[in-house]
Amino acid sequence: MGGMADLSSSRNLMALVDCNNFYASCERVFQPRLSAKPVVVLSNNDGCVVARSNEAKALGIKMGVPFFEIRDLAEKKQVEVFSSNYTLYGDMSRRVMEILSSFTPETEIYSIDECFLGFNGFRNRDLTAYSREIRSRVGKYTGIPVSIGIGPTKVLAKLANRVAKKQYPDIGIFNLFDQPDGDVILRDFPVEDIWGVGRRYAERLSQLHIHTALELKRASRNHLRRAFGVVMERIILELNGLSCMAIETQPASKKNMACARGFGRELSSLEDLEGAVHAYSSVLCEKLRTSKQMAEGLYLFLMTNPFSRNAAPFSAGKFSKLVEPTNDTSCIIEKACELLREVYRPGLSYKRVGIILMDLLPDGEYQPDLFSAVNQKKRRAAMSAVDGLNKRFGKATVQFGLPKRQGDWKQNRLRESSRYTTIWKDLPMVLAK
């Protein structure tokens, strides 16, 4: 590696934009009374804390803690608690991303609340000032506060983003190019906070006396490649300013699609479980048709409550190839129920069932033989009619082959907010005097 990244004009410029405490911020946008109050959002089934406002963080509420462990604290400190409302968060995310894409043609939506921006076309601009504009426009149009980190590689932009959030929360922007010596920042940056370094790697690096980003940047690339693999080598290169991970503006199509949820209460009967399998299959197939894909394989799994003290945990799963690639809800339900019957053991109380569609391929790629082609055409027409009705009149207006039990598998969501931006009846009311 030819020493440090040079400062020539060929260097990359990019930013990572990250929405602050995204789910909690979404809740706040529509309920101004929540501002300056501690807010937390819970995972599915109201199980764990998955988002916290700064005030909630200050109370010592950790990411991922089971809600029951902080219930008393939450009550005492008047924490505002919400079930997760993915319809709302997904729609808010779309709005934020749309605004970001008006600032550069090169965007990569990395997650529901993060986006990489390529700035190679903006070499003559003051990127710090440009980022102030971005931040202010997103804030004005959506109410969501964002942090922006700027650097020459994804790893460094991520790192800069974290510095912005931790050290300059009011400014919300940190540009590594503004630093006379970027190594000063790296020297104080813990290695475990680097993107791509998880708990396991951090432990092993610590045994090698590597504790900071600067130490990793200067470590032997070849040695660490042998010990950890190419992923670590790429991190080291990126810390040195050499970009190994391009901004992917075209989202790659998914290879798997999963739907797995815990139930509000434990279920024992096959009929109850079938109800869940019907519902999850429908969700998956709709997603599959939206992304214009078909599945070739299906995996179903089933488990009891792993935290139960009365019974040994049990889990089982089975994979099956489908007769032919499909995104037809009835076909998937049929196969999933078949697998369910095979892995189901009577006499147990189940907490969770999941379905993973595997080996996805693009809709157009599969050529059915002439015989099944006619059938498929009819089925396709039926599917798109169903999708249209459900889109127009709400999820699950039309369902396939009604299961015997209707809702025993449903999740707990006792504290859900309204779908302010996607359902007419949930529009916030404003009283004008």
Contacts to DNA by CB under 7 A? 43-45, 47-48, 50, 64, 66-68, 71, 110-114, 158, 194-202, 229-231, 252, 254-262, 287, 305, 307, 351-352, 354, 356, 411
Give 54 or 256: the residue with its C-beta nearer to DNA.
Answer: 256
Give 349 or 376: the residue with its C-beta nearer to DNA.
Answer: 349
Minimum distance of DNA from residue 432's CB (angstroms): 38
Minimum distance of DNA from residue 103's CB (angstroms): 20
Give 94 or 254: the residue with its C-beta nearer to DNA.
Answer: 254
Are 60 and 70 contacting, i.e. CB atoms less than 8 angstroms apart?
Answer: no
Minimum distance of DNA from residue 431's CB (angstroms): 36
Minimum distance of DNA from residue 205's CB (angstroms): 9
Minimum distance of DNA from residue 197's CB (angstroms): 5
Give 68 or 393: the residue with its C-beta nearer to DNA.
Answer: 68
Radius of gyration, CA atoms only, the chain = 25
Give 36 or 227: the residue with its C-beta nearer to DNA.
Answer: 227
Minimum distance of DNA from residue 199's CB (angstroms): 5
Give 58 or 230: the residue with its C-beta nearer to DNA.
Answer: 230
Give 37 or 318: the residue with its C-beta nearer to DNA.
Answer: 318
Q: Which residues contact 123 (CB under 8 A, 6 or more apart)?
A: 9, 13
Phi and psi, residue 367, nearest 5°: -105, 110
Give me the sheet containing 49-52, strands edge to edge: 49-52, 39-42, 80-82
Minimum distance of DNA from residue 128's CB (angstroms): 23
Give 268 or 376: the residue with its C-beta nearer to DNA.
Answer: 268
Beta strands at 114-118 and 107-111: parallel, antiparallel or unpaired = antiparallel
Give 229 or 388: the residue with its C-beta nearer to DNA.
Answer: 229
Give 71 or 377: the residue with its C-beta nearer to DNA.
Answer: 71
Minimum distance of DNA from residue 21's CB (angstroms): 11
Minimum distance of DNA from residue 303's CB (angstroms): 9
* Nearest Cα residue to 110 out of 251, 8, 207: 251
Minimum distance of DNA from residue 176's CB (angstroms): 17
Minimum distance of DNA from residue 123's CB (angstroms): 27
**3-state DSSP of the chain:** CCCCCCCCCCCCCEEEEEECCHHHHHHHHHCHHHCCCCEEEECHHHCEEEEECHHHHHCCCCCCCEHHHHHHHHHHCCCEEECCCHHHHHHHHHHHHHHHCCCCCCEEEEECCEEEEECHHHCCCCHHHHHHHHHHHHHHHHCCCEEEEEECCHHHHHHHHHHHHHHCCCCCEEEHHHCCCCHHHHHCCEHHHCCCCCHHHHHHHHHCCCCEHHHHHCCCHHHHHHHHCHHHHHHHHHHCCCCCCCCCCCCCCCCCEEEEEEEEEEECCHHHHHHHHHHHHHHHHHHHHHCCEEEEEEEEEEEECCCCCCCCCCEEEEEEEEEEEECCHHHHHHHHHHHHHHHCCCCCCEEEEEEEEEEEEEHHHCCCCHHHHHHHHHHHHHHHHHHHHHHHHCCCCCCCCCCCCCCCCCCCCCCCCCCCCCCHHHCCCCCCC
Give 48 or 148: the residue with its C-beta nearer to DNA.
Answer: 48
